[in-house]
Amino acid sequence: VARKEPPRIWRLEESVVNRIAAGEVVQRPSSVVKELVENSLDAGATSISVVVKDGGLKLIQVSDNGHGIRYEDLAILCERHTTSKLSTFEDLQTIKSMGFRGEALASMTYVGHVTVTTITEGQLHGYRASYRDGVMEQEPRPCAAVKGTQIMVENLFYNMIARRKNLQNSNDDYPKVVDLISRFAIHYMNVSFSCRKHGANRADVHTVAAFSRLEAIRNVYGVNVARDLLEITVSDDNPACSVFNMDGFVSNANYAAKKTTMVLFINDRLVECTALKRAIEVVYSATLPKASKPFIYMSINLPPEHVDVNIHPTKREVSLLNQESIVDRIQNAIESKLMSSNTTRTFISQP
Ligand code: ADP
Ligand code: MG
């Protein structure tokens, strides 16, 4: 057998590396929206509006009234690993902002066309700049602008044929965007959100600051959901075990749905936690005879050093210290809440 020469190894060009990495951070149109909205929230915005065309493949536009971006920073804004949120690795332990990697905007410029319009406090006019492959295309142009920042991503995945085809064939991402904004809107109830299709005169999500969580949920998910919710809180200040507190709303025995809705924020980050979701579903199917899938809104707060936010490139999952005991505590709390509300109901319905 002839011995085969081993293949040569070479360095990939930076642009290739960046485009590969970008495909991981920006998986679909709704992930662009998530990153942009998180940036707006990090910028202290109290008003965020989203416009989407062709499920996000043609256009995604997020406008906010946050602090804006300095003129001097526009040149490096969309380079990889440029951020205003993190400087040392240790900062990650206590980071409060949702972003920290400085990769989102850069990634978008490797898989789409990005235009930024921004104005900072006290300026007479704003600036607009366009970016491709991490690079600002020309000097920012002065332009009229209202407070804050508007970021436009056009022609997403124009250079990733398989991804684009896949998204065109599969269902439109717009429902995912609406779902995402709905989730942010009930947690960030002091921020007003709107989300619409390009050219539509009606928004699909439209919220103004709410007085209470329940009102926020009612505004977004409707009275049919809000009237069947139970408030639930767990707080644990015993330093011997894990320090955490949770507050939220979970559906009662009257609520009926085929699919679980779980809106979970950990330290104000929208995340997923499969273990917790499963654990809660188990409680519902064991406690309620109808075995409806629950609606859950839950906000968990933990010391930042107990949460590892850096386990997933999209920051979708986080890992928690003492996760098992936290899941246990929440499971127990929901179980006793459901039991007691069930008895009340029976009691009330008796003549
Ligand atoms: P990260 O959020 O991890 O810092 P991004 O690529 O998402 O990285 O954003 C890079 C930087 O651009 C941010 O650190 C922030 O300073 C600035 N920025 C992005 N979006 C906005 C916005 N909507 N308003 C103000 N500044 C923004
Ligand atoms: Mg970001």
Helix (H) or strand (E) holding 150: strand 148-154
Query: pLDDT tens across 280-301, in order?
Result: 999 999 888 777 899 999 999 9
Q: Which pLDDT score is estimated for 244? A: 86
Q: Ligand 1 atom 21: the closest Cα is on which residue?
A: 39
Instruction: Give the mean pLDDT of 53-77.
Output: 97
Q: Which pLDDT score is estimated for 239? A: 60
Residue 345 pLDDT more than 60? no
Which ligand minimizes its atom distance to the CA of 73? 1
Instruction: Give the mean pLDDT of 71-80.
Output: 96
Q: Which pLDDT score is estimated for 1? A: 67
Query: Beta strand pairing status for 295-301 and 261-266?
Result: parallel
User: First-to-last CA distance in the chain?
Assistant: 91
Residues in the ligand 1 pocket, defined by CB under 6 Å: 35, 39-40, 43, 64, 66-69, 77, 83-85, 99-106, 149
Q: For domain 228-349, give its CATH number from 3.40.50.10470, 3.90.1280.10, 2.60.120.10, 3.30.230.10.
A: 3.30.230.10
Q: Which amino acid is at 130?
A: S
SS3 state at 26: coil
Residues 6 or more apart whose Cβ sits within 8 Å of residue 282: 331
Residue 342 pLDDT more than 80? no
Query: pLDDT tens across 89-138, in order?
Result: 888 888 888 888 899 999 999 999 999 999 999 999 999 999 999 999 99
214's tokens: 């329940």
Domain spanning 14-206, CATH architecture: 2-Layer Sandwich (3.30)
Least Cα distance to 43 among 63, 17, 16 occurs for: 63
More confident residue, 235 or 46: 46
Confidence of residue 306 (pLDDT cuts 50, 70, 90): confident
Q: Which amino acid is at 241?
A: C
Q: Which pLDDT score is estimated for 28? A: 94
Alpha carbon 7 to its chain centroid, in Å, reads 43
CB 180 within 8 A of CB 144: no
Query: pLDDT tens across 225-271, in order?
Result: 999 999 999 987 666 555 889 999 999 999 989 999 999 999 999 99
For a substitution probing ligand 1, which of 26, 37, 42, 114 has the most ligand atoms within 8 Å of its CB?
Answer: 42
Residues 6 or more apart whose Cβ sits within 8 Å of residue 261: 221, 294, 295, 296
More confident residue, 244 or 279: 279
Query: pLDDT tens across 184-193, in order?
Result: 999 999 999 9
Query: Cα–Cα distance between 41 and 66 in angstroms, integer?
Result: 8
Q: Where are the domains of the chain?
A: 14-206, 228-349
Q: Ligand 1 atom 11: the closest Cα is on which residue?
A: 83
DSSP assignment letter at 8:
P
More confident residue, 99 or 183: 183
pLDDT averaged over every residue in the chain: 91
Query: Cα–Cα distance between 82 and 102 in angstroms, integer?
Result: 5
CB 316 within 8 A of CB 270: no
DSSP 231-276: EEEEEE--TTS--EEEEEEEE-TT---SS-EEEEEETTEE-B-HHH
Q: How far is the CA of 114 from the centre of ligand 2 (A)?
A: 14
50's tokens: 């989203």
Q: Ligand 1 atom 2: the closest Cα is on which residue?
A: 99
- Tell me whether residue 215 is exposed, middle or buried, using C-beta atoms within 10 angstroms of its C-beta: 0 to 12, 13 to 18, 19 or more: middle
Q: Which amino acid is at 181?
A: I
Q: How far is the CA of 37 from the centre of ligand 2 (A)?
A: 8
Which ligand minimizes its atom distance to the CA of 40? 1
User: Percentage of the chain with pLDDT > 90?
Assistant: 71
More confident residue, 25 or 61: 61
More confident residue, 349 or 324: 324
- Interface TM-score (ipTM) > 0.90: yes
Q: Do domains 14-206 and 228-349 have the same CATH topology?
A: no
Query: pLDDT tens across 11-32, in order?
Result: 999 889 999 999 888 999 999 9
